[in-house]
Structure 1
Amino acid sequence: MKNNILKKMILLCLCSCIAAASWAQSTVKGLVKSTTGEPVSGASILQKGTKKGTSSGADGSFSISNIVAGTILTVTSLGYDAKEIAAAVNMDIVLSPKANQLTDVEVSVDKGYGKSKRNAVTSVISSVKGSDLTGMPSTNLGSVLQGRASGVQITNSGGTNPPTQKILIRGFTSLQNSTDPLVIMDGVNLGRTGLNFVNLNDIETIDILKDASGAAIYGSDASGGVIIITTKKGRIGRFQTDADMSYGSAFYQNPKLAGADEYIAIQKRRNPAYVVPVNVANTDWWNATMKAANQINANLNFSGGTDKLSSFGSIGYVKSDGNFTVGNAYWQKILARLNLDFTPNKYLKIGFTLNPRFESWENPGGRGDLMPVVRTEPTLPIYVSRPQYDKYSQFSQTSIDRNVNPIAALKRGVFNKNYAIGIIGSAYIDISPIKNLHLRSQMNINTTQTYSAGYTPRYFNGNLDRNFDPTDVSTLEKSDNAYSNSGNAFNWIWTQTANYTYNLGADHTFGLLAGYEARKEYGVGNSAARYKSQDPTNSDYYYLNYMQGDYISTGGYEYQDTWGAIFGRLNYNYKGKYFAEGIVRRDVSSRFYNDSKYAVFPSASIGWIATNEKFLESFKKLNYLKIRASYGEIGNSSLNDPASYLNFLSPSYGSVNVATFGDPRTGYPIYTVARPANPKLKWERDIDENIGFDSYWFSNQLYVNAELYKRTAKDLLFTDYNGRPELGIPGGQKLNLGQISNKGWEATIGYKSQPKSKLKFDVSANLSHNTPYLDSYGLTGDPVLGDAQGAYRITEELQGPYTKSEVGQEIGKYWGYQVKNIFQNQTEINAYTDKQGNLIQPNAKPGDFKYQDTNGDGVLNDKDRVYLGSRNPKLELGLNLRVEYKGFDLAVSGYGRFGHKVLWFAKKFLTQGALGANVLAGSVNKAWNGEGSTNLYPRFVQDGATPDLLRFSSWFLENGDYFRLNNIQVGYTIPEKWIKGVRKARIYINTQNLFTITKYPGINPEIYNPDLPINANGVDISQYPVKKTITVGLAIGL
Structure 2
Amino acid sequence: MSGTVLDQNGAPIQGATVTVLGSTRGVLTDEEGRYSLQVEASGELVYTYVGFTPQTIPVEGRTEINVTLNPVVDALDEVTVVAFGQQKKESVVASITTVKPSDLKVPSSNLTTALAGRIAGLIAFQQSGEPGADNADFFIRGVTSFGYSNRPLILVDGVEVPASELARLQVDDLASFSIMKDASATALYGARGANGVILITTKEGKEGKARISLRYETSASQPTQNIELADPITYMNLANEASLTRGRVRQYQWEKIERTMAGEDPMVYPATDWQSLMLKDRTFNHRLNLNVSGGGKVARYYVAATYNKDNGMLKVDNRNNFNNGIDLKTYGLRSNVNINLTNTTEAIVRLNSTWTDYTGPLGNGADFYRQIIRTDPVLFPAYYEPDEKNLTTEHILFGNSGAGEYLNPYANLMKGYRDYTNAMFLAQFEVKQDLDFILDGLKASAMYNTTRYNYYQVSRMYSPFYYILSGYDKTTGKYTLTNLNPTSGHEYLTYNEDAKQITSEDYFQGILNYNTDIGEDHSVSGMLVYTMQNKISANAGSLTKLIGNAKFRTGWSFYLCIPKQILCGGEFWL
Q: Does the CA contact (< 8 Å) of 1:375 and 1:403 recur in 2?
A: no
State the partner residue of 1:353. 350
Deviation per CA, 1:587-641, whole angstroms, max 9, x where unpaired? xxxxxxxxxxxxxxxxxxxxxxxxxxxxxxxxxxxxxxxxxxxxxxxxxxxxxxx
The separation in 1 between residues aligned to 2:559 and 2:365, in whole angstroms, is 49
Q: Secondary structure at the match of 1:246?
A: strand
Q: Structure 1 residues 433, 321: CA separation in 2 closer, same or farther (over 3 Å shift)? A: same
Give the counterpart of 1:282 among 271, 274, 281: 271
Alignment partner of 1:483: what SS? strand
The residue number in structure 1 matching 2:431 is: 429
2:561 to 549, 563, 573: 573
Work out whether 1:140 is the aligned partner of 2:110.
yes
Runs of 5+ unmatched residues, structure 2: 1-14, 18-50, 56-68, 244-248, 260-267, 317-323, 468-482
SS of aligned partner of 1:216 = helix
- Within the alignment, does 1:256 sit opposite 2:228 as a pair? yes
Decide whether aligned partners of structure 1 residues 417 and 350 sit closer, same or farther in structure 2, where only a CA change above 3 A counts. Answer: same
1:267 is the counterpart of 2:239: yes
* 1:367 partnered with 2:364: yes
Contact 1:313 1:339 in 2 (8 A): yes
Q: Is the 8 A contact 1:364 1:410 kept in 2?
A: yes
Q: What corresponds to 2:407 in structure 1? A: 404
Q: Label 1:526 to 1:347 Cα distance change in 2 as closer, same or farther (>3 A).
A: closer
Q: Secondary structure at the match of 1:304?
A: strand
Give runs of aligned pairs for residues 766-845 of structure 1, distance below 5 A.
none
Indicate whether 1:240 and 2:211 are aligned. Answer: yes
- Give the Cα–Cα distance (whole angstroms) in 2 for the partners of residues 559 and 196 of structure 1: 28
Change (3 A) 1:402 1:489: farther
Tell me which residue corresponds to 2:21: none
CA contact (8 A) 1:125 1:208 kept: yes
What secondary structure is seen at the aligned counterpart in 2 of 1:214?
A: helix
Matched, 1:204 2:175: yes
SS of aligned partner of 1:282: coil
**Cα distance per residue 1:290-336 (max 9 Å; x no partner):** 11222000000011122322111101111101211113311111111
Alignment of 1:713-752 (within 5 A): none
**Distance of 2:534 and 2:513 partners within structure 1:** 25
Deviation (angstroms), 1:465: 4.1
Q: Provide the residue aligned with 2:443 in structure 1.
A: 438
CA distance in 2, matches of 1:398, 1:182: 52
CA contact (8 A) 1:427 1:443 kept: yes
- Counterpart of 1:161 in structure 2: which amino acid? P
Whole-angstrom distance in 2 between the partners of 1:366 and 1:402: 19
More off after superposition, 432-441 vs 191-200: 191-200
- Matches of 1:512 and 1:395 in 2, distance apart? 71
Aligned to 1:519: 533
Paired with 1:344 and 1:361, the residues of 2 have a C-alpha distance of 43
Q: Is the 8 A contact 2:505 2:534 kept in 1?
A: yes
C-alpha change, 1:211 and 1:467, in structure 2 (3 Å) is farther
How far did 1:102 drift?
Answer: 5.9
Shift of 1:481: 6.2
Give RMSD over aligned pairs: 3.3
Q: Is the CA contact 2:362–2:459 (under 8 Å) kept in the aligned structure 1?
A: no
Is the Cα contact below 8 Å between 2:404 and 2:484 reproduced in 1?
no
Residue 562 in structure 1 maps to residue 565 in structure 2: no
> Does the C-alpha gap of structure 1 residues 561 and 358 become closer, same or farther in structure 2, counting only changes over 3 Å?
same
Shift, 1:177, TM fit:
5.6
* Residue number in structure 2 paired with 1:474: none
- Which residue matches 1:582? 570
Which has the higher mean CA deviation after the structures are superposed, 256-265 or 274-283? 274-283
Q: Residue type matched to 2:228 in 1?
A: K
* Residue 341 in structure 1 maps to residue 341 in structure 2: no
C-alpha distance in structure 2 between counterparts of 1:402 and 1:255, whole Å: 26
- In structure 2, the CA distance between the partners of 1:467 and 1:282, relative to structure 1 (3 Å rule), is closer
Q: Of 140, 150, 158, which aligns to 1:187?
A: 158
Q: Are residues 401 and 430 of structure 1, via their aligned partners in 2, closer, same or farther at CA, if it must alter by over 3 Å?
A: farther
Aligned AA (1:237): G
Deviations 1:535-593 (A, max 9, x none): xxxxxxxxxxxxxxxxxxx999745433211100111112362332211113xxxxxxx
1:354 and 1:424 in contact (8 A); partners too: yes
Match of 2:325 in 1: 328
What letter matches 2:426 in structure 1?
I
TM-score, L = length of structure 2:
0.73
Equivalent residues of 1:232, 1:312 under 8 A apart: yes
Q: Distance in 2 between matches of 1:402 and 1:182?
A: 47
C-alpha distance in structure 1 between counterparts of 2:407 and 2:89, whole Å? 57
| Distance in 2 between residues matched to 1:496 and 1:502, nearest whole Å | 20
Residues 1:488 and 2:502 are matched in the alignment: yes
Asked if structure 1 preserves the Cα contact closer than 8 Å seen for 2:283 and 2:313, the reply is: yes
The two structures have a TM-score, normalised by structure 1, of: 0.41
- Whether the aligned pair in 1 keeps the contact of 2:350 and 2:427 (CA below 8 Å) is yes
Query: Quick one: distance in 2 between partners of 1:452 and 1:501?
Result: 50
Change (3 A) 1:576 1:103: farther
- Tell me by how many angstroms 1:524 deviates: 2.7
- CA pair 310-332 structure 1, distance change in 2 beyond 3 A: same
Alpha-carbon offset, residue 518 of structure 1: 0.7
Alpha-carbon separation, structure 1, partners of 2:146 and 2:403: 36
CA distance in 2, matches of 1:104, 1:269: 70
Tell me: CA distance 1:520–1:263, structure 2 relative to 1, closer, same or farther (3 Å): same
Seen in structure 2, the aligned counterparts of structure 1 residues 366 and 497 have a Cα distance that, compared at 3 Å, is same
Gap change, CA 1:350 and 1:169, over 3 Å in 2: same
Q: Give distance in 1, aligned partners of 2:383 and 2:196.
A: 52
Alpha carbons 1:97, 1:103 under 8 Å: kept:
no
* 1:399 Cα deviation from its structure 2 partner: 7.3
Asked if 2 retains the 8 angstrom alpha-carbon contact of 1:191 and 1:221, the reply is no
Q: 1:259 to 1:243 in 2, by over 3 A?
A: same
- The residue that corresponds to 2:473 in the other structure is none
Deviation of the 1:260 alpha carbon: 0.6
SS of structure 2 residue aligned to 1:513: strand
Contact 2:371 2:409 in 1 (8 A): yes
Instruction: Name 1:383's counterpart in structure 2.
Output: 383
Please give the per-residue CA displacement for 1:679-707, whole angstroms capped at 9, x wherever unaligned: xxxxxxxxxxxxxxxxxxxxxxxxxxxxx
Structure 1 residues 461 and 111, CA gap change in structure 2 (3 angstroms) = farther
Contact 1:392 1:458 in 2 (8 A): no
Seen in structure 2, the aligned counterparts of structure 1 residues 418 and 400 have a Cα distance that, compared at 3 Å, is farther
> Retained in 1: the 8 A contact 2:554–2:573?
yes
**Relative to structure 1, is the Cα distance of residues 238 and 575 closer, same or farther in structure 2, using a 3 angstrom cutoff?**
farther
Q: Is the 8 Å Cα contact of residues 246 and 298 (structure 1) preserved in structure 2?
A: yes
Write the deviation string for residues 393-435 of structure 1: whole angstroms up to 9, x where unpaired: 611126798863222111112x310001111221111111223
1:757-772 alignment runs, 5 A limit = none
Q: From the superposition, tell whether residues 186 and 256 of structure 1 become closer, same or farther in structure 2 (CA, over 3 Å).
A: same
Quote how far apart the aligned CAs of 1:243 are: 0.1
Q: Is the 8 A contact 1:486 1:526 kept in 2?
A: no
For the 8 Å contact 1:131–1:204, the answer to whether it is kept is no
Q: Residue 222 of structure 2 contacts residue 283 of structure 2 at CA under 8 Å; is this kept in 1?
A: yes
Contact 1:128 1:206 (C-alpha < 8 Å) held by counterparts = yes
1:930-949 superposed matches below 5 A: none
Q: CA deviation at 1:282?
A: 2.1
Q: How does 1:36-115 map to 2 (within 5 A)?
A: 105-106=77-78, 108-115=79-86
Are 2:338 and 2:348, in contact at CA under 8 Å, matched by a contact in 1? Answer: yes
Distance 1:220 1:574 in 2: 30
Give the residue type in structure 2 aligned to 1:187.
G
- The one-letter code sitting in structure 2 at the alignment partner of 1:196 is A
Contact 2:290 2:305 in 1 (8 A): yes
Listed as ranges, the matches of 1:669-680 within 5 Å are none
Give the equivalent residue in structure 2 for 1:124. 95
1:217 aligns to what SS in structure 2? helix
* 3-state SS of 2:341 partner: strand
Cα contact 2:398–2:466 (8 A) shared by 1: no
Displacement after TM superposition at 1:228 (Å): 0.9
Equivalent position to 1:160, from 122, 130, 141: 130
